[in-house]
Structure formats: structure tokens, C-alpha cells
Amino acid sequence: MPLLRFDKLSLAFGHHALLDRAELEITRGERLCLVGRNGEGKSSLLRLVSGEAAPDEGGVWIRPGTRVAHLAQEVALDSRESVFDVVAGGLPELGRLISDYHHTTAELAGASTPNGLERLARLQHELEAQGGWQLEQRVETVLARLGLDGDAAFDTLSGGWRRRVMLARALVADPDLLLLDEPTNHLDIEAITWLEEFLLEYAGALLFISHDRAFVRRLATRIIELDRGQLTSWPGNYDAYVTGKAEQLEVEARHQALFDKKLSQEEAWIRQGIKARRTRNEGRVRALKALREERRARRERSGKVELRLEQGSLSGKRVLEIEHVSVGFDGHTVIRDFSVSILRGDRIGIIGPNGAGKSTLIRVLLGELEPDSGVVQRGTRIEVAYFDQQRAQLDPQATLMDSVADGRLSVTISGRTQHVAGYLQDFLFPPERLQSPVSTLSGGERNRLLLARLFTRPANLLVMDEPTNDLDVETLELLEELLLDYQGTLLLVSHDRAFLDNVVTSTLVFEGDARIGEYVGSYSDWLRQRQAAARESTKPAATAGPSKPSPPQAKSAGKMKKLSYKDQRELDALPAHIEALETEQAQLHAAVNDAGFYQQSPGDISVALGRLEAIARELETCYERWGILEAQSTAS
């Protein structure tokens, strides 16, 4: 029996239908990702499920007794309570009791009184009687994992930290149906990884919106797409959805082309005048009217964002040279003895927990902050464009046109002058909204506007701080393509693992104790190197025995043991094995992308997709093993 069912659900804002007689069922244990372009109505759908909005037609049926928790995209709660109280409020029955116990314990830690001890004993007894200890521990665990200070006042937090608090409030409720709207926004990679593990063990049903492709790949058991008012279910993982959707759009385009050709022929026939009237029959006229009505009712997909970047002049070969830089605030060191050389054309990802100092590093590199010690040398002919995750460059009261063109009527991109209205249409802003203030835009729209502004500035050093928040997947992929074609130098701060993997070629990683490590490769490459290093460091040391004189050919202390014959044979065979796997993977990808793939039996489709997943896992293992053996071979 399902937990939730949509029955011919319709919802419209003005003349724009977000849902058009949509249907959906969700059962316990499913993890559904709701995907679709920005503005399609995904957040509105979650509000219908949570009861915060009502449909125009149709109904939302939820099994009686089902507990529903909702994390909205925008935080509406404004409370003077502590963070602990807000989070515990997600437990409607015991939340207040747990909060009272928490505050009483804190008070008694400062100074105990007879009344306080008596109140604490009473609260302990009530928690014991109602089984509240496990729930109190759950609140503490979620606060710790999301890096939240339970004693902080909620109304003093920034928007990003308030979202974290509301995420914690939704998670502790342990509902039967959990609704999450962009849960990874403003979370660092460590918190995202913990959230993935938490949700994988979650027993209820999960309906979530996310544009973090790595997060979706890890969690989703089914993809639900909202496209032009219709909900379509895509069983399987995200990659299967992408392949199937591309095929569906191709078939749809062919059908529409045939339909339009027939309509054009019939319109030409009806205009033939007296010659046509001699052969005209009423059935053909009625058929033409039906074709016209069908064409009028068709909802076209909105166009794609067109991204073009104004390239700056060529910078000097050496863009930045950092030598033994340290930075601290109020006695707390943020960056310690950091050195790096950044050359023209480098694509560098900056990774680290929230609060580690990534923004501080950017400010030092850009010359906005002088280091406490060390030297920062900047190259010649540097032109910087900076994408600020706080969107501080956007005036909420300014119009969209003024935000991009600063009062001008045209912009110049790649040597071509274009009216600002046409340029903004490339970013999917219709003409009727160009005089609207920035404050009326959604989060995704503000990010698109900031990209539009940024790309009008000539730049050979592009600095982007969390550019992926709130962007839909299609725009993300277009941004990736643009950055791959960019000829300048890129510094990218991001927690989007897939985006980092697709764009950067080296990483700077905050590793604790204010130290920053430099690694070759993308996020996944750094992860493999870290895991390999961790395994090496945890190997047990050889048991000490009687001292013997070292033979003349013995290796010096600290070097790795020479590869065994078996390991050497494995190392020699790995490249050929990897090549064979990659060849099979390419063949399977070609088969899956073929138009006839999904016309096979479901069993054959499942076998092919399963083999693709198995090859991806095996390749990852082989690359990891190859790296370990190569390192051991080189060291020996």
C-alpha cells in the first residue's frame, strides 16, 4: 500500500501550469529524486505534499497516520530560540522535554541549586519513562555531524547556517516521509558524505530535489521528472535516466517534425481557394481544425541557457607565486606555511570543510588580504572575474538589466556587441522580467544572473566560489563545457564532487591544522590518493627481532619493501586489464545510447546496465590498486 498518491493533480500560477493532471505513487523505503529545470515547479510540488499549499484540481492522498517532515529551499522560520531548541522542535511529542533537560543541565554545570537538581531529576524521570534518551542522543548526534552549535541563537545565524539547522530539525523527526529541497546546499563534502550515509540507512520514504549529481547517483532508487506539467517515472539510477531521457527527446523531436510537416501541408491545401473547394470535404476540414488545436495545446520545452565568456588578454605564464604564507585571526591560525605556484591555464579546485579558510585563501590570492608572513607575487596582465557565493555583487533593488550592463543598453561578448535584452534571454530571462528587481528572483535565477554579469567582464583569471548552488543540472553541464573551453586560469571553490571531477586538473585541500596540501588530478584522484596513504599509514610495523648486520645491498631505513614477484606480475598486467575494461565500457555506452536499446526485453536492459555499473566499480578498484603498486615500485 502506498504512503502517498497524486490523483490527477493540477496546479497553475496565472496561465502557467506547473502540474497538469499529474499522477504519482510513493511507497515506504523508496528514495525518489525529483528532477527538472529551474522554474518547473519542483518546490511547489513538495509544498503540496507537506500540506503547505493546495492544488487547483485533483487530490493528494497520504496514508492516515503518516508523519511528514519537510526541508524547504528557502528558510521561513524566524525564531529567537537556541539552535538546540529549534532542532529538538522537530520532535513534536518530546522536543520540549528534551530542550528543558538540555538547558537545565547547562545551568547546573555553572552553579547547582536544590531546585535545579530537583528539576533535573524530574526531567530525567520523564525522559526515562517516555523513552526519550535515544531521541536526545539523536539530536546531539545530528547537531555534531552538521557542525552546529546548539547554544547559538537561531536568529543570529546566516541564511546558509539556518538551512543547516532546518535540515537537522527535519532529520531528527524520523518521519515516514521525508521531503528535502536541495539538502546539500551550503554543506561541505564531509557533511554531504555523512548525510548520504544517514539517508541510506533511513527506513522511511524519501522524496528529494537535488542538482548534486554525485548525491543523486548515491541515493536515488527512482528518478521522477517534472517536465511541462507532467510527472514521469524513470526506474533505476540517474545515469539510466539521462540516457533514457535523451532518447525520449529525440523520439519526441521526430514526431513533432512529422506532425508539423503534415500541418503545414494541410494549411497549404486549405489556402488553395476555388481549386481546393472543388475537392474539399468536411472530414478533412475537421481534421485540420483538430491538428490546429493539438498544435496550440503543445507545450514546448524552454530553450537552453547559452553561455559565452568574454576572454581576457593573455596573462603572463606565471599567474601567482605563493611562498611560505601564513594567515591568522585573533590568535587562531587559518593558513600555515603554504606555498604554491599557479601557472597560466591551471584549473585548480579548492576543497575543505566550511570555516576551514577557503574564502580567506581566495582573498589572499586576489590581494584583498595581506598575509601575516610569507610572500605573494602576482604575475603580469592579470584580469580577474570573481563569482561570489554570497552574491554580494548583486543589488537586490537593481533591475536585471542594470545588474548586468550597469545602465548600458548593450554588452560585448567575444567581440560581438549585443543588446542586453537579447543577452539576458540567452540566460532564460524573458523580456517582461528585465525591469524586475533582483529581489524577485529565486536562488537559481540569481546564480544565472550573476553568471551573466560575470561573463561580460574580460578575464584571464576566473575565480568561482560555489557557483553550482541552485543551478539545474542542464545549466551545470553547460557551465562545465564553458569552463573546459576556457583558455585562462581557473580557481574553483566547490563541494560539488561531480563538478570538480569534470572541470579541475589539480586540487588544493585543507587537511587540518591550517595545512593545505596540493594534489594532481580531480576530487576523485585526491580521494584515491588519500585512501591509499591512509592504508599505508595503518599497516602494522614489523615485529622487532634480534639485531643483525645489514647486508651491503639492503635498502636504507624508511623505504618501502621491494615488490614481490606476484605483485610485479599484477602491476605488469593491470594496464592491459584496464584497457580491456574501458573498451568494453565504451561498447556498452554505445549500445545504451543506440535508439533501439530500450526496445529490448527488460531483462536484457537490466543486464546491460548492471554490467556498466560493475565495470565502473571494477575500474575504480583497478586504478586504486595500480596507484598503490606504482607508488611502492617507485619507492623501492
List, for residues 289-314, the tens digit of each pLDDT value.
777 776 666 655 555 556 666 666 77
The pLDDT > 70 percentage for the chain reads: 82
Same domain (yes/no): 589, 487: no
Nearest to 498 by CA among 465, 472, 522, 474: 522
Query: Rounded to whole angstroms, how far apart are CA atoms 463 and 481?
Result: 16
Range of the domain at 360: 318-526
Same domain (yes/no): 453, 512: yes
Mean pLDDT of 278-293: 68
| CATH at 567 | 1.10.287.380
* Per-residue pLDDT at 558: 39
CA-based torsion, 45, 50, 53, 56: positive or negative: positive
The answer as to whether 539 is a domain residue is no
pLDDT exceeds 60 at position 35 = yes
User: What pLDDT band is residue 33 in, cutting at 50, 70 and 90?
Assistant: very high
User: Which of 483, 505, 526 represents a domain boundary (last residue)?
Assistant: 526
Q: List, in order, residues 6 or more apart from 19 with CB less than 8 Å away.
A: 9, 10, 11, 12, 41, 44, 45, 48, 55, 226, 229, 231
Adjacent-strand bridge partners of 34:
209, 224
pLDDT exceeds 70 at position 256 = yes
pLDDT exceeds 80 at position 363 = yes
Query: Rounded to whole angstroms, how far apart are CA atoms 181 and 159?
Result: 15
Mean pLDDT of 497-509: 91
Query: Rounded to whole angstroms, how far apart are CA atoms 59 and 124?
Result: 44
41: left (phi over 0), alpha (psi -120 to 50) or beta: left
* Per-residue pLDDT at 546: 44
pLDDT exceeds 80 at position 630 = no
Same domain (yes/no): 363, 493: yes
Identify residue 365 by its one-letter amino acid code: L
Same domain (yes/no): 573, 519: no
Distance of CA 28 to the CA centre of its chain: 25
Mean pLDDT of 353-381: 89
Pairing of strands 68-71, 222-227: unpaired
Q: Among 6-15, 462-471, 593-602, whose mean pLDDT is lowest?
A: 593-602
User: What pLDDT band is residue 554 in, cutting at 50, 70 and 90?
Assistant: very low
| CATH at 347 | 3.40.50.300
pTM: 0.67
Same domain (yes/no): 330, 457: yes
Decide: 249 and 225 in contact? Cβ < 8 Å. Answer: no
Mean pLDDT of 457-479: 83
User: What pLDDT band is residue 206 in, cutting at 50, 70 and 90?
Assistant: very high
Decide: 252 and 273 in contact? Cβ < 8 Å. Answer: no
Mean pLDDT of all residues belonging to the chain: 80
The answer as to whether 407 is a domain residue is yes
* Per-residue pLDDT at 312: 67
Query: Rounded to whole angstroms, how far apart are CA atoms 211 and 73?
Result: 12
* Per-residue pLDDT at 636: 55
Q: Among 27-36, 86-95, 124-133, 233-242, whose mean pLDDT is lowest?
A: 124-133
User: Which of 147, 174, 201 represents a domain boundary (last residue)?
Assistant: 174
Backbone phi, then psi, for 24, in 5-degree steps?
A: -165, 145
**Which stretch, 184-198, 257-271, 320-334, 532-546, has highest mean pLDDT?**
320-334
Same domain (yes/no): 439, 508: yes
- How does pLDDT run across 395-451, given as a tens digit for each residue? 888 888 888 887 788 887 766 788 888 888 878 787 878 888 888 777 777 878 888
* Per-residue pLDDT at 281: 65
User: What pLDDT band is residue 553 in, cutting at 50, 70 and 90?
Assistant: very low
The answer as to whether 464 is a domain residue is yes
Reading the block at residue 546, the C-alpha cell is 634480534
Higher pLDDT, 61 or 97: 61
User: What pLDDT band is residue 280 in, cutting at 50, 70 and 90?
Assistant: low
Reading the block at residue 520, the C-alpha cell is 594532481
The answer as to whether 162 is a domain residue is yes
Mean pLDDT of 524-549: 65
* Per-residue pLDDT at 224: 92
Same domain (yes/no): 495, 579: no
Same domain (yes/no): 332, 419: yes
* Per-residue pLDDT at 39: 73
Q: Among 32-36, 69-73, 342-346, whose mean pLDDT is lowest?
A: 69-73
Q: Residue 35: exposed, middle, or buried by beta-carbon count in 10 A (0-12, 13-18, 19+)?
A: buried
pLDDT exceeds 60 at position 64 = yes
* Per-residue pLDDT at 159: 65
The answer as to whether 451 is a domain residue is yes
The answer as to whether 227 is a domain residue is no
- Longest alpha-carbon distance in the chain: 114
pLDDT exceeds 50 at position 276 = yes
- How does pLDDT run across 100-145, given as a tens digit for each residue? 777 777 777 666 676 777 777 777 777 676 666 677 788 888 888 8
pLDDT exceeds 60 at position 275 = no
Query: Rounded to whole angstroms, how far apart are CA atoms 613 and 585?
Result: 9
Decide: 10 and 21 in contact? Cβ < 8 Å. Answer: yes
Same domain (yes/no): 472, 575: no
The answer as to whether 228 is a domain residue is no
Same domain (yes/no): 495, 591: no
Mean pLDDT of 342-353: 91
Residue 355, helix vs strand vs coil: coil
Mean pLDDT of 317-338: 91
Higher pLDDT, 155 or 499: 499
Higher pLDDT, 604 or 196: 196
Same domain (yes/no): 564, 457: no
User: Which of 484, 503, 526 represents a domain boundary (last residue)?
Assistant: 526
The answer as to whether 482 is a domain residue is yes
Higher pLDDT, 158 or 317: 317
Per-residue burial over 169-184, b = 16 or more CB atoms within 10 Å of its CB, e = otherwise: bbbbbbbbbbbbbbbb
Angle at which helix 133-145 crosses helix 95-110, to 10 degrees, equals 80
The pLDDT > 90 percentage for the chain reads: 14
* Per-residue pLDDT at 122: 75
Integer distance in angstroms from the first to the last C-alpha of the chain?
62
* Per-residue pLDDT at 390: 62
Higher pLDDT, 390 or 456: 456
Work out how many domains the chain is built from and give that number. Answer: 3
Same domain (yes/no): 353, 474: yes
